[in-house]
Amino acid sequence: MTLTILGLALATFLLRYLPLAALSRTTLPPWAEDWLRLVPVAVLAASLAQALLYPDDALWIAWNNPYLFAAVPTFLVARRTRSVLRTMLTGMACYALLTAVL
Q: What is the pLDDT of residue 4?
A: 97
> pTM value?
0.63
Q: What is the pLDDT of residue 55?
A: 87
- Delimit the domains of the chain by residue range: 1-50, 54-102
Q: What is the pLDDT of residue 90?
A: 97
Q: Residues 67-80: pLDDT tens digits?
A: 999 999 999 999 99
pLDDT beneath 70, residues of the chain: none
**Dihedral sign from CA coordinates of 79, 80, 83, 85:** negative
Q: What is the pLDDT of residue 24?
A: 86
* Rg of the chain in Å (alpha carbons): 20
Residue 67 corresponds to which amino acid?
Y
Contact 61, 53 (CB under 8 A): yes
C-alpha to C-alpha distance for 68 and 51, rounded to whole angstroms: 9
